[in-house]
Amino acid sequence: MTRTLITGGAGFIGSHLAEALLSRGQHVTVIDDLSTGSLDNIRHLVGHERFRFAIETIGNEMVLDRLVSECDVIFHLAAAVGVQLIIQNPARTIETNVMGTEAVLKAALRYRAKVLVASTSEVYGKSERVPYSEGDDITLGPTSRSRWAYAASKMVDEFLALAYQREHDLPVVVFRLFNTVGPRQTGQYGMVIPRFVQQALAGQPLTVYGDGSQTRCFCNVRDAVRAIVGLSETPQAVGQVFNIGSTEEVSILEVAQRTLALTQSRSAAAGDPIRLVPYAEAYTEGFEDMLRRVPDINKIGRAIGWQPTIPLDETLQQVIEHYRS
């Protein structure tokens, strides 16, 4: 029976992953310092005979060593999350991501545990070549713009993980997540869909940053978890990088309009249900955003036969129900 460790397992994606692994009969341990995760996300799992958790940072070498010594597979999801947090705390972002990943890889090497490292579509930077493919060149902005610190730190995570695989033959898989959404995601760190849903349910105007023409592809967390689990069970995935995301491209303005319609919000009855907010006001002067972000998912399709199955409107409905309840 597989024994798994999820770093950042009390987070939005980690908690859904824990559920999926338990349903497959695995033993699941979660380590999370609750800096961005929440005990509420895993409260329903506490007491399960194959589930346990530690409220601790992965920077605690003694605790991490013990947990890794007792597992076969590590899903490394612990990281700084959300554009807002990254802009406000760039030093913490870099340290959390790079040092955290190094600590996990060192511990994994001691016990030969398999590691799946969560990365992000942010590593594609401001490349205009769409859809983004795993082998594409990458274009980042200047070091004076803190938003690129996150992308660079996650690139270092990837370099480090792949270096451990090549130099030490450690079984490592890297996956890049594109705008994963669903129940339990918080709008606290700038995540757009939970923010829209909370504003709509409160009858407030929906705040769209920029002019709303920027497009994204939102992938339901259940689809994303299915992909992550599939990669963990595929030996051929070791030493490789995979995109995980939806290819249903939609503008942020349209997401706001769909949210208003699905919630039947009082905001829609108001004179101005959508408020456009300049990036400089939302984040910081000189903030750069990508006009389009679309993944090429052919590689993961070939590797494990994965495709997303849950359309955006269904995902929005799930988030709405979550906040209503």
Contact (CB, 8 A) for 237 and 231: yes
The structure tokens listed for 295 are: 């993944």
Residue 58 DSSP code: T
Q: Which of 124, 150, 164, 209 is catalytic?
A: 150
* Direct distance between the N- and C-terminal alpha carbons of the chain, in angstroms, rounded to an integer: 35
Q: Can you spell out the DSSP letters for 236-251?
A: GGTT-EEEE----EEE
Which residue is listed with tokens 């898989």? 173
> If 0-12 CB within 10 Å is exposed, 13-18 middle and 19+ buried, where does residue 235 land?
exposed
Specify whether 150 is catalytic: yes
Q: Can you spell out the DSSP letters for 296-310?
A: --HHHHHHH------
CA distance 247 to 303: 17
CA distance 322 to 325: 5
Residue 96: φ, ψ to 5°: -60, -50
Give catalytic residue positions.
150
